[in-house]
Amino acid sequence: MNIFRLTGDLSHLAAIIILLLKIWKSRSCAGISGKSQILFAMVFTTRYLDLLTAYISLYNTSMKIIYIGCSYATVYLIYAKFKATYDGNHDTFRVEFLVVPVGGLSFLVNHDFSPLEILWTFSIYLEAVAILPQLFMISKTGEAETITTHYLFFLGLYRALYLINWVWRFYFEGFFDMIAIVAGVVQTILYCDFFYLYVTKVLKGKKLSLPA
C-alpha cells in the first residue's frame, strides 16, 4: 500500500468520524443530507460484499467493517435518534435520478458480468455522485456549518488522494482501472467549487455561504 492510498483512507475515515461526532455532540443532524448518507450506506454495502468471500488483510477487513458500520450508524442517527432535528424540507434531491442511471450503467460497463462485479461497479459509480444531495442541500439553504464543511473537505481530499494513488499504481505497479479513475475524476470535479470556498472562507474563519 502506498502513502497516497493510506492517507486517502485516513482522510475518508476522518470525514466519517467528524460527521458522527458532529451529530452526536450537538444532538442534531441539522444541515446534514440524510439522502446522501443513505447513498453512502448503499455504496459501502454493495462494494464490500467480498467480506463474505475473500480475505486480504486485517487492515482491509477492519476498514470495510468500520465504513459499513459508521454509515448505518449515521443513517440511524439522522432518521431515528435525532429525527426531530432532520431538515427534510431542504433535503429534496431526487435520488432516483442517480440510482437508476447508475444501476443501468453498472450493467452496461463493468469488468466482468457477474453479480459481485456488477455490484462493485455500481458502488464505484454511485460514490461518484452520492454527495450531490448534500451539495444540493447546502446550495438550497445558502450556507453550511463549519463542521459540515470540514466533513466535506476531508471527503473530497480522500477522493483526490485516491486519484494520485491510481497514477502511482499505474507508473510503479502497472495497474490501471479505468472505471475507478473516471468515477474518481467525476467525484473530484464535483468538489472543486467547494474546495475553493473552503480555502478562501472557512480556513480564514468566515462562514461558508453558497448561492441558493
Higher pLDDT, 163 or 191: 163
The reported pLDDT for the residue numbered 205 is 55
What are the phi and psi torsion angles at 178 (to 5°)?
A: -60, -40
Averaged pLDDT for residues 148-171: 88
Higher pLDDT, 206 or 72: 72
Q: Say if residue 81's pLDDT is above 70.
A: yes
Averaged pLDDT for residues 69-79: 97
For residues 132 and 140, give the distance between their C-alpha atoms in angstroms, rounded to a whole number.
12
Burial annotation 159-170 (CB, 10 A radius, 16+ → b, else e): bbbbbbbbeebe
Q: Say if residue 203's pLDDT is above 60.
A: no
Name the nearest CA neighbour of 109 among 97, 94, 129, 124: 124
Q: Say if residue 195's pLDDT is above 90.
A: no
Mean of the per-residue pLDDT values for the chain? Answer: 88
Task: Provide the pLDDT confidence category of residue 150 given band limits of 50, 70 and 90.
Answer: confident
In a 10 Å sphere around its CB, with 0-12 CB exposed, 13-18 middle and 19+ buried, how is residue 55 labelled? Answer: exposed
- Is the pTM higher than 0.75? The answer reads yes
For residues 82 and 101, give the distance between their C-alpha atoms in angstroms, rounded to a whole number.
31
Out of 87-96, 105-114, 138-147, 168-177, which region has the weakest mean confidence (pLDDT)? Answer: 138-147
The reported pLDDT for the residue numbered 84 is 95
Q: What is the pLDDT of residues 21-70, one digit of tens each?
A: 999 999 999 889 999 999 999 999 999 999 988 888 999 999 999 999 99
Averaged pLDDT for residues 175-200: 79
The reported pLDDT for the residue numbered 49 is 93
Number of residues assigned to the chain: 212
